[in-house]
Chains A and B, each alone.
Chain A
């Protein structure tokens, strides 16, 4: 394994508010990374900053040696893709066309897709198991179906790094588990590096290769087994109502 994700002295936030600073992380390729933290700790801001759609306050982020934050948006789009929680109001867009938006960086000036583009869209549809509704319109889909369609779009984009902001939101338990298995398969079978933020801490600890935890402006990173032993982890996710039990690896209500 080689180191392919390097974050150096990165500060994230807004001009008048720093959310997290001095973020320094190096990670090997082909990892499933879970990003956890409490509401408002900056998970979405970190993901958007890494994706280059939100400006950093300072610092550098390199993926496979490429300076992600300074290369052109077109080059960046071939390197990574992001799935956010942003709700879209789209009319007359069929699922297949939506996924084809992922081919944007590869198409000509008029956006005409080639046979290869169409084939990659079909592969993404197969991989995400959405063939049964790939001819329907986007606005007709349930939130869970839309989530899978967004992931298919990110896969069609062929970035080696995929960032997902709370991808399991809106999904029922079975769909949540299936989606996490899909993310795992993207890493294991397709060599992608996946970073996803989540509030499903138990599932994240079971499935992720590495966990990044944001707390009070600091990003801690460790393997799941190391992280649960850390007092900071228990402090972050314990309250008068709930506590984490390291022995069972689950939360219990008090």
Chain B
């Protein structure tokens, strides 16, 4: 591995550790930094409420930022390579839209059946998670059937966008007929919320994301070959159908699980892979995947910190922060691609 890449990894690891501590330190209740560290290393702080705030609220939120950032970044990288499209992201296949439909049906459907989501607070997060995963898996199953019939990745991409549009329309209809309180709960979920993640949810999210990231790294070799196009990839020995299916399944697991617990968080999946390529100046997924993991952690931790600065008496929606970071980068990608097209 070139020295330049080792330096990037080290710096990003140190910066992620720093941002992680800062993210736990910052919040509406001021807790001295040494007390935060004491609790994190297993000790007890001066006040019991501080222990509760750190261990039950801030630590899960920061860990969720780390896991979401890593998962969404790697998912985006794989989608961009698979579709040879610089603007592809984890949501492009409509899988997260499927998750959103599941959640919309759960939240607003419960309202229609006479339950208010406020009454279901204990079970609601689990219900949201399960309905999101079920929705994602349904769309994924549909896509797998389509991929088996149509051996054309662009058709699948277009179909994914169409599925997303149809689901948005369905969600719009459900929203129209739903109660105001349920509508608010659903809209809050769509804004993305890392603070909603509990310690128990992390026990599921952590192994699933770690598995997805390791599996993604193990797909580095076929992912590299996809850069040549499917014809060449086949000609150098890649089993296209199998590797494409694996890439889509693992991406769905990563995106679906993260979306279920944290809501749909945009732009990270599109932006981070470009930052990784820009920094490392390489095509190699063996370098880009670890770099995207580290960059994703850093950026989402930073977004989480910005969303809850001490001067603010409330938390900003994380999606607004990631959009503000992401949109300038997307504009840069569009201009860069236009320049490349004119050179070629």
Given contacts A77-B237, A84-B231, contact A109 B221 (CB under 8 A): yes
Evaluate contact between A109 and B236: CB separation under 8 angstroms.
no
Residue B5 is within 8 A (CB to CB) of chain A in the complex:
no
Interface hub of A97, A101, A102, A104 (most chain B Cβ within 10 A) = A104
For B340, what are the chain A residues with a Cβ–Cβ distance below 8 Å? Answer: 89, 91, 139
A binding-site residues for B, Cβ under 8 Å: 48, 51-53, 72-74, 76-78, 81-82, 84, 86, 88-93, 97, 101-102, 104-105, 107, 109-111, 139, 157
Given pairs A53-B235, A92-B277, 20 additional interface contacts (CB within 8 A): A53-B231, A77-B235, A77-B236, A77-B237, A78-B237, A81-B236, A82-B231, A84-B231, A88-B228, A91-B283, A91-B340, A92-B281, A104-B225, A104-B236, A105-B236, A107-B221, A110-B218, A110-B220, A110-B221, A111-B220
CB-contacts of B292-344 with A (<8 A): 340, 344
B binding-site residues for A, Cβ under 8 Å: 84, 218, 220-221, 224-225, 227-229, 231-232, 234-240, 277, 281-284, 286, 340, 344
Interface residue from A48, A139, A157 paired with B236 (Cβ < 8 Å): A157
Evaluate contact between A90 and B221: CB separation under 8 angstroms.
no
User: A78 CA to B235 CA in the complex, in Å?
Assistant: 9
Interface residue from B221, B232, B236, B239 paired with A72 (Cβ < 8 Å): B239
Evaluate contact between A84 and B283: CB separation under 8 angstroms.
no
Q: How many Å from the CB of B344 to the closest CB on chain A? A: 7
For A84, what are the chain B residues with a Cβ–Cβ distance below 8 Å? Answer: 231-232
Given contacts A84-B232, A111-B221, contact A92 B239 (CB under 8 A): no
Interchain Cβ contacts under 8 Å between A and B, 21 examples? A53-B234, A73-B238, A73-B239, A74-B237, A77-B235, A77-B236, A86-B231, A88-B229, A89-B84, A91-B283, A92-B277, A92-B282, A92-B283, A97-B283, A101-B232, A104-B237, A105-B237, A107-B221, A109-B218, A110-B286, A139-B344
Interface residue from A51, A88, A111, A139 paired with B235 (Cβ < 8 Å): A51
Evaluate contact between B286 and A111: CB separation under 8 angstroms.
yes
User: A209 CA to B224 CA in the complex, in Å?
Assistant: 37
For A52, what are the chain B residues with a Cβ–Cβ distance below 8 Å? Answer: 234-235
Closest-by-CB residue of A relative to B336 is A91
Evaluate contact between B235 and A90: CB separation under 8 angstroms.
no
For A73, what are the chain B residues with a Cβ–Cβ distance below 8 Å? Answer: 234, 237-240
User: A157 CA to B227 CA in the complex, in Å?
Assistant: 17
Q: How many Å from the CB of B209 to the closest CB on chain A? A: 21
Interface residue from B236, B238, B283 paired with A90 (Cβ < 8 Å): B283
User: A78 CA to B84 CA in the complex, in Å?
Assistant: 26
Closest-by-CB residue of B relative to A150 is B232
For A102, what are the chain B residues with a Cβ–Cβ distance below 8 Å? Answer: 236
For A86, what are the chain B residues with a Cβ–Cβ distance below 8 Å? Answer: 229, 231-232
User: A102 CA to B282 CA in the complex, in Å?
Assistant: 18
Evaluate contact between B344 and A89: CB separation under 8 angstroms.
yes
Q: How many Å from the CB of A158 to the closest CB on chain B? A: 11
User: A16 CA to B144 CA in the complex, in Å?
Assistant: 24
